[in-house]
Amino acid sequence: MQWLRDYADLSVEVIDCSSPGRGWQGKQTGVGWARKTLFNKILEVASEEDLLISLDADTRIRPTYVASILHTFRDHPQWPALAVPYYHPLSGDAAMDHALLRYELYMRNYAINMLLTDTPYQYTALGSAIVMRAGALRKIGGITPYQSGEDFYLLQKFCKMAPIGTDNAEMVYPATRTSNRVPFGTGPAILQGMDNAETSYPIFHHSLWEPVQETIRLLPDLYYGTVHTDFLDFLETQFQNRNLWGSIRQNVKDLPHFIHAFHEKADGLRILQYVRRRHASHPVPDEQALRENLMLWAPDRLPRWFGSVISFSQLSVPQLNHLRNLLWVVERNLRKKSASR
């Protein structure tokens, strides 16, 4: 900290939360509280249109990254926040890279399914890949300091306020590393993979989203009358209200407001819970799910050698990287289409 204070060529303010007597106590722990402390300090001086660019200390960016962010927000003044595209560089450690790529297959597969569903919650939440307007952060009451996943809930709060962006000309390159400081996320997922533990990040089959998409398609019918879908039943159970939609109808003035209210209930967390529940009752092996998803999304690019694979453990790092890059291309093209609407 003293080195930072004395470093003449860098304009930096140090927030001391580690000297004797200044450490956090009780529930004031974890990366969520660290981010909350930092963001609150910034909001004391930031103007409404100032941008907060969130990065991890070991995240790589190109020299033109900040300029690309400014350009994107000037082109999209309606966006309160941006979930920046990301790409994990390989470390050269085969076991670590194998585990990382397996996790990134999960993330990109999930994102593509969300992008193909007419839900506003189409972001991938990484703390090292978020940019937000200071005024928008004030409006949602700042960040909630969860022990883990605070980036997911932060973007969800922004998304309920206004559509957020998911495309930018430049990416961020988060470090490929293990970590046990948080309950879930990239670091713990890599640790799981390196220990050959049972993963909690399955490759979900595209069919699991069909009831969600069907429900969104039927929203005009739901506004004017009774509709039954499995996803609607799930939401009513989650909110313990069998007249959930009737009560919403009484409190909105038209169909667009009803649709907005629906998406506030059917948010990113509820969709994830629903997909996980369907996966548990209709399990499809990860390798089969990815193969059938790619046959739908990029049939002309599916490598022949993946056709007979029954376990990701059979694949080399270059083969897993090939699959990661294939999903990255599909996701990138979908995000560009979404940004141009």
Please identify, among 262, 277, 292, the residue that sits at the C-terminal boundary of a domain. Answer: 277
Shared domain for 135 and 166, answered yes or no, is yes
pLDDT of 80:
97
> pLDDT category, 145, cuts 50, 70, 90?
confident
pLDDT of 24:
82
Q: Residues 212, 114: contact at Cβ < 8 Å?
A: no
> pLDDT category, 29, cuts 50, 70, 90?
confident
Percent of the chain past pLDDT 70, that is, above it, reads: 93
Domain count across the chain: 2
Mean pLDDT of 66-88: 96
Please identify, among 227, 246, 277, the residue that sits at the C-terminal boundary of a domain. Answer: 277
Q: Mind listing the pLDDT tens digit for each residue in 266-319?
A: 999 999 999 999 999 989 999 999 999 999 999 999 999 998 888 998 999 999
Mean pLDDT of 168-176: 93
> pLDDT category, 188, cuts 50, 70, 90?
low
Mean pLDDT of 185-199: 64
pLDDT of 278:
96
* Token pair listed for 161: 């306020």
* Phi, psi (degrees; rounded to nearest 5) at 60: -90, 140
Shared domain for 60 and 128, answered yes or no, is yes
Mean pLDDT of 199-217: 93
pLDDT of 12:
80
pLDDT of 182:
60
Mean pLDDT of 325-340: 90
Q: Mind listing the pLDDT tens digit for each residue in 93-108?
A: 998 899 999 999 999 9
Q: Decide if pLDDT at 252 tops 90.
A: yes
Shared domain for 89 and 127, answered yes or no, is yes
Q: 105-114, 142-151, 186-195 — which is least confidently predicted?
A: 186-195
Shared domain for 189 and 139, answered yes or no, is yes
Shared domain for 201 and 334, answered yes or no, is yes
Shared domain for 201 and 213, answered yes or no, is no
Shared domain for 131 and 262, answered yes or no, is no
Shared domain for 145 and 161, answered yes or no, is yes
Q: Decide if pLDDT at 185 tops 80.
A: no
Q: Is 191 exposed, middle or buried (0-12, 13-18, 19+ CB in 10 A)?
A: middle
Looking at the chain, the number of H-run helices and the number of E-run strands are 15, 3
Cα–Cα distance measured from residue 317 to residue 314, given in angstroms and rounded to the nearest whole number = 10
Q: Decide if pLDDT at 59 tops 70.
A: yes
Mean pLDDT of 49-70: 95
Q: Mind listing the pLDDT tens digit for each residue in 255-279?
A: 999 999 999 999 999 999 999 999 9
Shared domain for 145 and 263, answered yes or no, is no
| Contact partners, residue 257, CB within 8 Å, separation at least 6 | none
Average pLDDT, the chain: 90
Tokens 């399914």 locate to 113
pLDDT of 18:
84
* Token pair listed for 164: 């957020």
Separation of CA 129 from chain center? 9
Shared domain for 200 and 321, answered yes or no, is yes
- Name the 3-class secondary structure at 179: coil
Shared domain for 141 and 273, answered yes or no, is no
User: By residue range, what is the domain housing residue 251?
Assistant: 208-277
Please identify, among 259, 277, 295, the residue that sits at the C-terminal boundary of a domain. Answer: 277
Shared domain for 31 and 128, answered yes or no, is yes
> pLDDT category, 196, cuts 50, 70, 90?
low
What is the side-by-side order of every strand in the sheet holding 130-133?
A: 51-54, 130-133, 81-83
Q: Mind listing the pLDDT tens digit for each residue in 212-239?
A: 999 999 999 999 999 999 999 999 999 9
pLDDT of 273:
96
Q: Decide if pLDDT at 147 tops 90.
A: no
Mean pLDDT of 28-51: 89
Percent of the chain past pLDDT 90, that is, above it, reads: 71
Half-sphere exposure of 338 (CA within 13 A, CB side): 24
Q: Decide if pLDDT at 332 tops 70.
A: yes
